[in-house]
């Protein structure tokens, strides 16, 4: 099934798009990762995942219909070349909604994610774009449908339609209408996420091609769905009872298990830099010394630390350049 077939019931062909409001979607960090697709067209995952949204850090996006022959894509005040990969992904997403020959758009996106933080912006970017498309084309979708829409842009974006702890239910249906984010009712006011950028310069394989390579070439990947399912259950329990050790251990173990499948791919996918490993070893040492701190990592060399507010001062002494976010705090 393709994206157009999934979207057909939601689109009224004669609808003329209007200028949208500016829409915000937060960035998210997965504690149980999405890694591998059962449908690459629709970004349907092999496993369910769970994330925490990063509060006010994310993407602000607005759509303005324009009478030009191509879309004009602006990112953080700079106009992107139409040939840029990001522009092409956005235009392809907009093509799903406009009739052939119908207008183009000026897409203005501003990311409040600190550029030094090393966070991917495709999740918040496509979630904010989905909200803006819903507004511009007056689709009137509910939040589950908006999450499905965001997923068609980028899988992890389906979790960025919501705030707080979000589970992406993998679903069973071929059209993926049951594969979307769901908010967990719990909050965790003292939870902190520390962003540590160890290497700005590295150009790595993006998540999309990285997970494809893993699924196709790593025998070790066979065990990933089981690991992810068990981790998801543990994380749900940790969140329900407020057990930080269980949350941290499970998230770190999950991230390292995902990286093990990456390393077992061919050609090997090693996202770590020597500094990434040095930082992991420092965290393990601090933990041995009694400091409750854990980490998670995505498809890149940077680390995201997980700890509670009581440890903030001490951790800032060890990682003075760390950017700290309190997903549930009003800092």
Output 20 or 207, the one with its CB closest to ligand DP6: 207
Output 23 or 151, the one with its CB closest to ligand DP6: 151
Which range binds ligand DP6 by CB under 6 A, 29-37, 302-310, 311-319, 321-329?
A: 29-37
Check binding of 42 to ligand DP6 (CB under 6 A).
no
Give the integer Cα–Cα distance in Å for 324 and 108: 27
Output 123 or 215, the one with its CB closest to ligand DP6: 123
**Residues within window 235-294 making contact with ligand DP6, judged by CB under 6 A:** none
- Of the candidates 174, 175, 178, 158, the one whose C-alpha atom is nearest the C-alpha of residue 166 is 158
Sequence-distant (≥ 6) Cβ neighbours of residue 129 within 8 angstroms: 61, 63, 90, 93, 107, 109, 150, 153
8 A C-beta contact, residue 251 and residue 296: yes
Which range binds ligand DP6 by CB under 6 A, 73-81, 153-161, 215-223, 310-318?
A: 153-161
Which range binds ligand DP6 by CB under 6 A, 27-35, 137-145, 224-232, 280-288?
A: 27-35
8 A C-beta contact, residue 313 and residue 242: no
Which range binds ligand DP6 by CB under 6 A, 154-162, 170-178, 236-244, 266-274?
A: 154-162
Cα Rg of the chain, angstroms: 20
Select the residue interacting with ligand DP6 from 156, 160, 214, 265 (CB under 6 A).
Answer: 156
Site string for ligand DP6, 77-106 (x = CB under 6 A): ------------------------------
Select the residue interacting with ligand DP6 from 208, 236, 287, 318 (CB under 6 A).
Answer: 208
Given the DSSP bridges, would you call strands 104-111 and 72-75 parallel, antiparallel or unpaired? parallel
Check binding of 122 to ligand DP6 (CB under 6 A).
yes
Q: What angle do CA 102, 107, 109 make, to 5 degrees?
A: 160
- Strand segments (E) across the chain: 23-32, 37-39, 44-45, 49-66, 72-75, 78-79, 104-111, 165-169, 180-183, 191-196, 294-296, 303-308, 323-325
**Interacting residues toward ligand DP6 by CB under 6 A:** 30, 33-35, 43, 49, 122-123, 154-156, 207-208, 298-299
């Amino acid at each position: 099934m393709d994206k157009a077939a999934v979207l057909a019931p939601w689109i009224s062909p004669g609808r003329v798009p209007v200028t949208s409001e500016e829409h915000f979607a937060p960035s998210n960090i997965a504690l149980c990762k999405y890694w591998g697709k059962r449908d690459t067209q629709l970004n349907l995952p092999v496993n369910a995942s769970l994330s925490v949204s990063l509060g006010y850090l994310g993407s602000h996006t607005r759509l303005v219909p324009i009478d030009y022959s191509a879309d004009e894509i602006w990112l953080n005040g700079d106009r992107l070349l139409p040939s840029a990969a990001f522009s092409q992904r956005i235009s392809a997403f907009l093509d799903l909604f406009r009739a052939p020959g119908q207008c183009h758009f000026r897409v203005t996106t501003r990311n409040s994610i600190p550029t030094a933080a090393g966070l991917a912006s495709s999740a918040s970017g496509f979630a904010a774009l989905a909200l803006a498309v819903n507004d511009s084309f007056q689709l009137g979708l509910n939040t589950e449908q908006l999450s499905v829409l965001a997923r068609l842009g980028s899988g992890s974006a389906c979790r960025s339609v919501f705030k707080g702890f979000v589970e992406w239910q993998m679903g069973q249906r071929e059209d993926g209408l049951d594969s979307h984010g769901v908010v967990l009712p719990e909050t965790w006011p003292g939870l902190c996420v520390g962003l540590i950028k160890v290497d700005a310069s590295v150009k790595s394989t993006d998540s999309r091609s990285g997970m494809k390579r893993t699924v196709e070439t790593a025998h070790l990947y066979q065990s990933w769905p089981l690991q992810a399912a068990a981790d998801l259950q543990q994380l749900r329990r940790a969140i329900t009872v407020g057990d930080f050790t269980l949350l941290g251990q499970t998230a770190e173990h999950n991230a390292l298990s995902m990286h093990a499948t990456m390393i077992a791919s061919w050609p090997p996918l090693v996202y770590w830099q020597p500094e990434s490993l040095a930082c992991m070893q420092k965290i393990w040492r601090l933990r041995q010394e009694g400091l409750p701190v854990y980490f998670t990592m995505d498809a890149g060399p940077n680390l995201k630390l997980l700890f509670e507010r009581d440890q903030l001062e001490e951790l800032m002494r060890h990682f003075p350049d760390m950017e700290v976010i309190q997903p549930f705090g009003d800092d």
